Structure 1
Amino acid sequence: MAAERDLRVLIVDDEPLTAQAHADYVRRVPGYAVDAVVATGGEALARLDEAATSGVPVDLVLLDMNLADLHGLDVARRLRGRGHPVDIMAITAVRDLYVVKSALAAGVSQYLIKPFTFAVFREKLENHRRFRLNLADDGGTATQATIDSALAALRTVGQSRLPKGLLEATLAAISSELRDTGDALSATEVAERLELSRVTARRYLEYLAGQDQAVKTPRHGTPGRPEYEYRWR
């Protein structure tokens, strides 16, 4: 039962740094454990086949939509075609409505758009665990109440956990800029790129550093007041 053991998570993403970041996130959420990290759809299918026969099943797949060998939709459909009842959470930058609808039709129960904060990720996993607990095997029969409770737990989106004054959209823009540039940026540089005030950029960068999503280090060689730079972790 979900209450008696950690839920095992298979991470499928062909970007090594992103995959490792997701694995680190999983390890930070109580009640979850990383089963494996794979880079292709073929490896994901093979790992789930292996797990199904080992007696230690995978409970949740974190699935990117853009993989080198297969589209995430194809992976989800093949999983269902092979009879794997594993839960699937799409974690992707793909926002195309057709892909979203197709993912839901293929059995994807949650869809998380990159970039996101650890707080948002944690909430998704906590919702997933409540979903599993509500559908825990208790005689093999579900009532309308248990079904409604399970679906409500999975779909519920709590209030933003960002500090007062911070906006999800701005945080996403700064996170994307920091991640995509590949270099360390100061608050001034982020502000100039995104047309924000330096104070605003610094608040968001400090928040990312506090959430272990960015690494903050002093920038040496700058005259006057010490300046810090931030690099995506």
Structure 2
Amino acid sequence: MIGVLLVDDEALTLELHRSYVERIPGFEVVAECAGARAALTAILESPQRERIDLVLLDMTMPDGSGTDVLRHLRARSADVDVIAITSVRDAHTVRQVIALGATHYLVKPFAFATFRERLEHYRAYREQTRSTTGSATQSEIDALLGARSPTSSALRLPKGLSAASLARVSDAVRERGPLSASEAGEALEMSRVAARRYLEHLADLGRVERSHRYGTRGRPETEYLWR
């Protein structure tokens, strides 16, 4: 499980983000903070610090900014990733946050599908970084940079595919796989053809691997297993 720290000075926003995280398999909220100082204490000093992998960080709080929090974390070499979640849109702040190593910058307000895309994307980046060891090849470096970028091909979907449905298919394969297109379609109440398009897209991205399933009769069926 990926442990998430929520940081926002608005109680309703914390509640909303908690409900969003709880809907995404593989993530869990391990702590919540309403200010910059409390966030630094949670990440650097609290007993829960070992469980925090990802911080969803507001940029404007009464006792400090998100960029202040990021500067302190980088100065202390804190081993956490950060996604900035804010209504601040000015280019100077965006450049600062990116320079300080935030994985994504998500502008409020946003739909759940957008939030889910970013967390799914972060999970892919995290898996890629942990699977790359020793001396990285150029292709592995390119994959790491691509997984970190919110404008990578993973978020540019082919025409006719939706991010929300792609996330549902991804979850189905991850939790129940290996699955054929027929099985995925039946489980998700979509057509076999539609399910196959999403599965093939995931295969093209390297998220799932194809293999043949041989039955007692007829041609072999393609099944998809989460990598």
What is the aligned partner in structure 2 of residue 12 from structure 1? 7
What is the aligned partner in structure 2 of residue 133 from structure 1? 127
What is the aligned partner in structure 1 of residue 139 from structure 2? 145
Cα 1:162/1:124, change in 2 over 3 Å: closer
What is the aligned partner in structure 1 of residue 30 from structure 2? 35
Is the contact made by 2:4 and 2:31 (CA closer than 8 Å) also made in structure 1?
yes
What is the aligned partner in structure 2 of residue 117 from structure 1? 111
Q: Secondary structure at the match of 1:131?
A: helix
2:8 partner letter: D
1:144 partner letter: Q
Question: Residues 47-62 of structure 1: matches in 2 within 5 Å?
Answer: 47-50=42-45, 56-62=50-56
In 2, the alpha carbon distance for the partners of 1:161 and 1:108 equals: 26
Q: How big is each residue's C-alpha offset from its partner over 1:199-219, in whole Å with a ceiling of 9 and x where there is no partner?
A: xxxxxxxxxxxxxxxxxxxxx
Q: Secondary structure at the match of 1:10?
A: strand
Q: Secondary structure at the match of 1:83?
A: coil
In 1, the alpha carbon distance for the partners of 2:163 and 2:75 equals: 40
1:17 partner letter: L
Once the 2 structures are TM-superposed, how far is the Cα of residue 82 of structure 1 from its aligned partner? 1.1
Question: Residues 77-88 of structure 1: matches in 2 within 5 Å?
Answer: 77-88=71-82
Mean alpha-carbon deviation: is it higher for 55-64 or for 98-107? 55-64
Once the 2 structures are TM-superposed, how far is the Cα of residue 150 of structure 1 from its aligned partner? 2.0
1:124 partner letter: R
Which consecutive segments of 4 or more residues in structure 1 shift more than 6 A? Answer: none
Q: Secondary structure at the match of 2:59?
A: coil
What is the aligned partner in structure 1 of residue 91 from structure 2? 97
In 2, the alpha carbon distance for the partners of 1:32 and 1:140 equals: 28
In 1, the alpha carbon distance for the partners of 2:133 and 2:148 equals: 22
- The match for 2:156 among 155, 158, 165 is 158
Cα 1:42/1:147, change in 2 over 3 Å: same
Once the 2 structures are TM-superposed, how far is the Cα of residue 50 of structure 1 from its aligned partner? 2.9
1:158 partner letter: R
What is the aligned partner in structure 2 of residue 75 from structure 1? 69
In 2, the alpha carbon distance for the partners of 1:55 and 1:14 equals: 20
Once the 2 structures are TM-superposed, how far is the Cα of residue 139 of structure 1 from its aligned partner? 4.2
TM-score scaled by length of structure 2 = 0.64
In 1, the alpha carbon distance for the partners of 2:13 and 2:122 equals: 21
Cα 1:162/1:84, change in 2 over 3 Å: closer
How many residues in Structure 1 have an aligned counterpart in Structure 2? 157
Cα 1:11/1:138, change in 2 over 3 Å: same
CA RMSD of aligned residues (A): 2.1
Cα 1:122/1:50, change in 2 over 3 Å: same
Is the contact made by 2:58 and 2:86 (CA closer than 8 Å) also made in structure 1?
yes
In 2, the alpha carbon distance for the partners of 1:41 and 1:63 equals: 9
Q: How big is each residue's C-alpha offset from its partner over 1:7-59, in whole Å with a ceiling of 9 and x where there is no partner?
A: 111110000000110111111111111011100111111111135x7673411
